[in-house]
Amino acid sequence: MTETVESAGTDAAVCRRLVGRTAVITGAGSGIGLAAARRLASEGARVVCGDIDETAGKAAADAVGGTFVRVDVTDPEQVEALFKAAYDTYGSVDIAFNNAGISPPEDDSILTTGLEAWKRVQDVNLTSVYLCCKAALPYMRRQGRGSIINTASFVAIMGAATSQISYTASKGGVLAMSRELGVQFAREGIRVNALCPGPVNTPLLQELFASDPERAARRLVHIPAGRFAEADEIAAAVAFLASDDSSFINATDFLVDGGIAGAYVTPL
């Protein structure tokens, strides 16, 4: 296929930056993970879809011609098995998109959030990223190549009066850990970046805001773009960070937030 300058980079169908690369994605069954599975596969990657939800994870893998591995990202042995399955099936582990995460309603203000809810969110959102990086790195070090993308959030760098205290703390941890790993392994050809999405237009968010327009308005007013992100827009950033187009981008907090973190006063 002939690529024109105009179409290159704008049409995912002709953007083939990941041919021959193997990508492991956690939380691939839904939302950002699913959109990333589609995007990375469309760019030529062989995709391993990890998810605790067997039905959704399998459907994602089928949709992208990839492999499904059921994994609870809080379990060290299951995480090891996920990355081993990628290597055994495709012969390399080039991209790790460590993305699975939760934001349960029990995690709220520090005044009401109990220790159990705190620990559960830390396990799924932060300890999981430690486990996934620990499992992916040995393959990448042997190859002398790899891109790790850990999903943090814009709340890792901004405070919200609508608190989800453990979630925010977990994403801050993802940010700091990614930075440190990016620095430690830079001379081995491995890049580690934290992806910081702004709020994404997911079914969960739509449902929540349909029932509470005031809550929606309270958030939307802070977004210069005047809207939430689409999952495909976050997936495009994942593909960029996964590819050699971002070869000098390492140890960053890569914001994809429509300008939220840069805003003081937003347009009417």
Binding positions for ligand NAD, rule: CB under 6 A? 26-27, 29-33, 51-53, 56, 71-74, 99-103, 124, 151, 153, 197, 199-200, 202
- Which residue, 14 or 220, is less far from ligand NAD as judged by CB? 220
- Which residue, 14 or 102, is less far from ligand NAD as judged by CB? 102
DSSP conformation letters of 208-241: HHHS-HHHHHHHHTT-TTSSPBPHHHHHHHHHHH
The dihedral built from the CA positions of residue 231, 253, 147 and 122, taken in this order, carries a sign that is: negative
Question: What is the closest distance, in whole angstroms, from the C-beta atom of residue 7 to ligand NAD in the complex?
Answer: 28
- What three-state secondary structure class fits 13? helix
Buried b (16+ CB within 10 A) or exposed e, 38-70: bbbbbbebbbbbbbbeeebbbbbbeebebbbbe
- Which residue, 99 or 250, is less far from ligand NAD as judged by CB? 99
Question: What is the closest distance, in whole angstroms, from the C-beta atom of residue 54 to ligand NAD in the complex?
Answer: 9
Active site residues: 167
Question: What is the closest distance, in whole angstroms, from the C-beta atom of residue 99 to ligand NAD in the complex?
Answer: 5
- Which residue, 172 or 189, is less far from ligand NAD as judged by CB? 172
- What three-state secondary structure class fits 156? helix
Question: What is the closest distance, in whole angstroms, from the C-beta atom of residue 234 to ligand NAD in the complex?
Answer: 8
